Structure 1
């Protein structure tokens, strides 16, 4: 795991890959809980029999926003940003979904530092996030996440 203690250390990674998370399996229970939390019970996500018989993937698929919601969890496996008073998920930009994540697929996050700036003591970073699906040639998505850090 990458340890970052201050702005200067963070800045030294500009343009570089920061790391890759562990594999995470998205199972039907997680999909169903996400459907309950977001009130999105579309059958392609929650009806295993219908998805198997009528769906284009022959299985249920994870919600696109479920896969996005994994970013903070998987990011914490890549980088330990220390000496901060506050960390804020500031935004997401230019995301493209490339391939559906089927139930029981394993995914991992690859992160690359694209931009970093000091905004009067607040560090703004843009991380290119790529969600890889195990044994698949195309990623689930590629896009930028923006974090704000207030270092001590």
Structure 2
């Protein structure tokens, strides 16, 4: 894990990688809980038997937004700014779901710090996050995410 004393030190890292996480397994239980939380019970995610018969993947796949929702958890595994008291998800400039995440696949995230800019009473951080499925050439998701950090 990268550790920065403050946002000035973090800012100097702009344009550089923040690293890549360990792989995590995407389970059917995670997918079902996400479906329950969001109300998105589409069979391609939640019905293994139907997915085996009708899906080109032959197994359920994770919701794209489940993959994206893992960003804060995974980001916390990569870096820490000691002076930051609070962070807020602000939005995204661009998100693309470019490949499926089959159930029981292993997923990781690579992050590049694009920029750190003062905004209001905090700093606006832009990161490029690439979610990779182990063994796949094409990423599952590429997202430019915006976070506000406050000291």
> TM-score, with normalisation over the residues of structure 1?
0.96
1:82 deviation in Å? 1.6
| 1:71 paired residue number | 71
1:120 deviation in Å? 4.5
| 2:30 paired residue number | 30
CA distance in 2, matches of 1:32, 1:96: 22
CA distance in 2, matches of 1:66, 1:121: 31
RMSD of the TM alignment (CA)? Answer: 1.0
| Misfit runs of 4+, over 6 Å | none
Describe the SS at the equivalent of 2:85. strand
Q: Deviations 1:47-90 (Å, cap 9, x if unpaired)?
A: 00010011111010000010011001101001112212221111
Asked if 1:21 corresponds to 2:21, the answer is yes
Aligned ranges 1:130-145 → 2 under 5 Å: 130-145=130-145
1:137 deviation in Å? 0.2
The answer for unaligned runs of 5 or more in structure 1 is none
CA distance in 2, matches of 1:121, 1:34: 34
Aligned ranges 1:50-89 → 2 under 5 Å: 50-89=50-89
CA distance in 1, matches of 2:7, 2:61: 39
| 1:99 paired residue number | 99
CA distance in 2, matches of 1:106, 1:81: 28
CA distance in 1, matches of 2:54, 2:119: 51
> TM-score, with normalisation over the residues of structure 2?
0.96
The answer for unaligned runs of 5 or more in structure 2 is none
1:7 deviation in Å? 1.8
CA distance in 2, matches of 1:30, 1:14: 33
CA distance in 2, matches of 1:94, 1:110: 16
1:119 deviation in Å? 2.1
